[in-house]
A and B are shown apart, each in its own frame.
Chain A
Amino acid sequence: INMFSSLMLASLSVLTLPIMSSILNTHKNSTYPHHVKNIISYAFITSLIPTMMFIHSGQETIISNWHWVTIQTLKLSLSFKLDYFSMIFVPVALFVTWSIMEFSLWYMHSDPYITRFFKYLLTFLITMMILVTANNLFQLFIGWEGVGIMSFLLIGWWYGRTDANTAALQAILYNRIGDIGFIMAMAWFLFNANTWDLQQIFMLDPNLTNLPLLGLLLAATGKSAQFGLHPWLPSAMEGPTPVSALLHSSTMVVAGVFLLIRFHPLMENNKTIQSLTLCLGAITTLFTAICALTQNDIKKIIAFSTSSQLGLMIVTIGINQPYLAFLHICTHAFFKAMLFMCSGSIIHSLNDEQDIRKMGGLFNAMPFTTTSLIIGSLALTGMPFLTGFYSKDLIIETANTSYTNAWALLMTLIATSLTAVYSTRIIFFALLGQPRFLPLTTINENNPFLINSIKRLLIGSIFAGFFISNNIYPTTIPEMTMPIYMKLTALTVTILGFTLALELSLITHNLKLEHPTNMFKFSNLLGYYPTIMHRLPPLANLSMSQKSASLLLDSIWLENILPKSISQFQMKTSILISTQKGQIKLYFLSFLITLTLSMLLFNLHE
């Protein structure tokens, strides 16, 4: 008796229980957040069983239960695809969300609307689950839009703050531009493959897939903040730290990468799109790593780090390694969420101080947070045998030994060393040295919620890579033989980055502050991209439309060309050339006398 599908459906549907309890109004009591956290932990444990069954037997399932509508020849039904990707992602996502929920019990403790916060987080989780288990593009789109909406609601959580509202709006706008690509891909599939089901698309294997894959790439650029549609991710740090940890590091922003991974059978055959993704990912990872070097807000540095890692995932897809990209998604979730939670702990302890120039000396004051921050940074940079090593090092090795674009490869290597640089910067400024915060502090990390949640992710960051890599079945064979300098490339550039950053920080720590150079300004202002793109194109569009619509048509063609020009011309010339004085009665009388005289003359002349 195979309980695979029923257990998986049970774990997914158990998540929707707290939402439905809001109908019965049981969500007003103060233990609702605890209920939500417990339910997520139960869902996690329940979903482990089907995952282990999957690992043991390699059995993939598609659950298609409810036929919704048939529009002429298109059949839409509620269909869950439980394959390699979704079976491994669901437990990972549930585990990370469980830890984040426990963390936000501590972080958002004094918030009066904490139940609403948990409801929003839970709705987000449900839509993310819909996204990863979707078997047809329509269900995926439902999940896609759902995570977008929840992201908007959660970024603008403190809606009294103007910056938070603009950041939420920015997130929605940039995601919408990506959605255009998604809808274009859906339309192409509807016309050319007559379906939105993934199985049928892969079976038909259409020939010219440039257009839909371009659309999907645009969708991934919007959702995963690649270069061109990236400014919303650093701005999204206006939301509370649990939101940043859940959405913008582990789950939502990997939705774009996940979409591209889902379509890997189509991308294998299209070399153009692969080169495009490779270059896009390389540009993103380098650009955001450069921007992260001079930021002063700890959450923004971690946000740019997320962006850079996302670029790395896109690069992995570009070298035709979807399984490695997926492995990086799973491992990245652990340490990135933990990094955000550590920064949340620091921020709360220093009384909502987010500027690293005002932190310091936390090495002795907050030992647990320090430990987890350092381990998280080491895992991020790919320290051997921590979590990040199993995915990141494999990616760099495969990129080194594959027949690929050398420029993209160089960019990726530079970005890897920059990862080490800004991680060292965080550690140096926030933890080492003498304290730069106010003496009257509220440093306290004794809360069991905080300690337990970070501890769980800590163990995950150390062991999850090993655990997952040893238990998945082999998909693409990694390259086993390569020259020793290639094998050690990732390690070398990382160590280079570490030492360089440490030396520079120590040397320049006590120097006088000079005027920022041009390079500094480029990096600090995010490469001038938001400054230019948020002002120039809207201004150009609006002024062009105003000029062409109202000025050109209405006032020039209808008003000015004939009537006004004639009247102006006449008035000017008549003033110019007339010498009259306006004695009308005289003129009329003379006219009358002339008339009478002429009539008399002509009639009486014989």
Chain B
Amino acid sequence: MSLAHINIFLAFTVSLMGLLMYRSHLMSSLLCLEGMMLSLFVMATMVVLNTHFTLASMMPIILLVFAACEAALGLSLLVMVSNTYGVDHVQNLNLLQC
């Protein structure tokens, strides 16, 4: 693989690490989710443009749309948590209460 591809792939992996390992704030995993989405988008666009695979050039844009939806969902969950506790520390989520 070329250097650019490895670069982006590394960015993706770092974001994945950040998503799965965080200390207390829920917000940081959401941010890493966005980072993953961003790196995927860039990777897909680079591959499509370099191989002139024009038919698949819809794919990054659709990916963007769905990522926006999931970001909204994540944020609403954050807001729900923040409504009950005031802060979004993950150690608060030990009670399954609605």
Contacts and interface: CB of A to CB of B under 8 A. Distances in A.
Given A585-B22, A588-B20, A575 B94 contact: no
A588 to B, nearest CB: 4
Given A571-B98, A575-B98, A588 B93 contact: no
B79 to A, nearest CB: 15
B17 interface: yes
Interface residues of A, number: 15
Given A584-B90, A585-B90, A592 B20 contact: yes
A586 to B, nearest CB: 10
B96 interface: yes
B52 to A, nearest CB: 31
B94 A583 contact: yes
B65 interface: no
B19 interface: yes
Interface of A: 571, 574-575, 578, 580-585, 588-589, 591-592, 595
B17 A592 contact: yes
A581 B21 contact: no
Contact of A582 (B19, B29, B93, B98): B93
29 contacts: A571-B98, A574-B98, A575-B96, A575-B98, A578-B96, A580-B96, A581-B94, A581-B96, A582-B93, A582-B95, A582-B96, A583-B94, A584-B90, A584-B93, A585-B21, A585-B22, A585-B90, A588-B19, A588-B20, A588-B21, A588-B22, A588-B29, A589-B20, A591-B20, A592-B17, A592-B20, A592-B21, A595-B16, A595-B20
A595 B13 CA distance: 11
A588 B21 CA distance: 7
Contacts of A589: 20-21
Question: Chain B CB within 10 Å — which of A581, A582, A583 has the most?
Answer: A582
B24 to A, nearest CB: 9
Interface string B8-19: 000000001101
A591 B19 CA distance: 11
A239 B19 CA distance: 84
Nearest 4 Cβ contacts at the A-B interface: A592-B20, A582-B93, A588-B20, A582-B94
Contacts of B93: 582, 584
